[in-house]
Amino acid sequence: MKTMIRITYTLLIALFVFACQPTEKELKNASSNVSVSPTNRAQLSSEIIWEKLNPARGDQSPQAGTIWGDRKGKVATGFLAKFVDGFSSPPHIHNVTYRAMVVDGLVHNDDPNAANMWMPPGSFWTQPAGESHITSAQGQSIAYVEIDHGPYLVKPVAEEFDNGEKPVNISKDNIVWLDHKESGMIYNEQVELAYLWQQNGLNGYLLKVKNGFKGSLTHHGDVFHAVIIKGEIRYMASNKNLDPGGYFTATEQSKHLLENAGGTEALVYIRTNDKIELN
């Protein structure tokens, strides 16, 4: 069933892409007066503070490091979950739906009785609130996890419920990429974009930034979160090299000057409430 959902989801994303393309004129007009904002901020992965994801499990709990928001509060939040090699959770549910991307290692997330389907770095999945599942890791593994509101809680399967959502697993090899000829938001041959999700006026994008890229990412909304999933991006305004778990943001429309000087392809996850533009 997960395989069918994954294929269907990929096709729906491909159709959604062409229905939601902003025009070149719209983007160029909107970006003409956008400059680097004083609210721009970058954060290193080394600044993340780690704690137990599920304190009730003691030393067997994965580690959690908040990147933005407040995992224990009521606001939207993005955080890293770190698993030791061979980790496998007992069946459980969450009180809120989450989205996630594999950052390192291999992660399996599915029904308790499902066969292992290991997702490599760059893969994307969603876990509906109330649905019983397990999460396992092969190798030292890290995932970026995002919720639209908190708190993020782990609860027993006795409290399982159906919220009407269906889970989605998309391996990195099934992600649909668009280049500068196919997306109205890209004007640089060294960047590709994938649409991951859209809900309640928010969008989730994944950027593939090729080695040697030097340019700008402009966003036109007042919600903007960017997390490095793979590779290394230099954030020019603060001269910081952001590795996986590194983060940059702004609270008003602005331009972010970026460079991929890490020697390999980079992946950047974007959460925003308006258009973006890559030059």
Mean pLDDT, consecutive 10-residue stretches, the chain (279 aa), reads 47 45 46 66 96 88 96 96 96 97 98 95 98 97 97 96 95 96 95 96 97 95 96 95 97 94 94 95
Q: Which residues contact 136 (CB under 8 A, 6 or more apart)?
A: 87, 88, 89, 107, 108, 109, 116
State residue 240's pLDDT score.
95
User: Rounded to an integer, what distance in angstroms lies between the CA atom of residue 3 and that of residue 225?
Assistant: 30
Residue 93 has a pLDDT of 97
CATH fold label, 47-171 = Jelly Rolls (2.60.120)
Output the pLDDT for position 35.
63
pLDDT the model gives residue 269: 98
Expressed in angstroms, the distance from the first to the final Cα of the chain is 40
Task: Tell whether pTM > 0.75.
Answer: yes
DSSP 31: H
Task: Identify whether the C-beta of residue 227 lies closer than 8 Å to the C-beta of residue 246.
Answer: yes
Topology match between the domains 2-44+174-278 and 47-171: yes
Residue 185: name the closest of 206, 170, 200 by CA: 206
Residues 6+ apart with CB under 8 A from 108: 116, 117, 118, 119, 134, 135, 136, 137, 138
Q: Where are the domains of the chain?
A: 2-44+174-278, 47-171
pLDDT for the residue numbered 54: 87
2-44+174-278, CATH topology level = Jelly Rolls (2.60.120)
Q: What is the pLDDT of residue 262?
A: 86
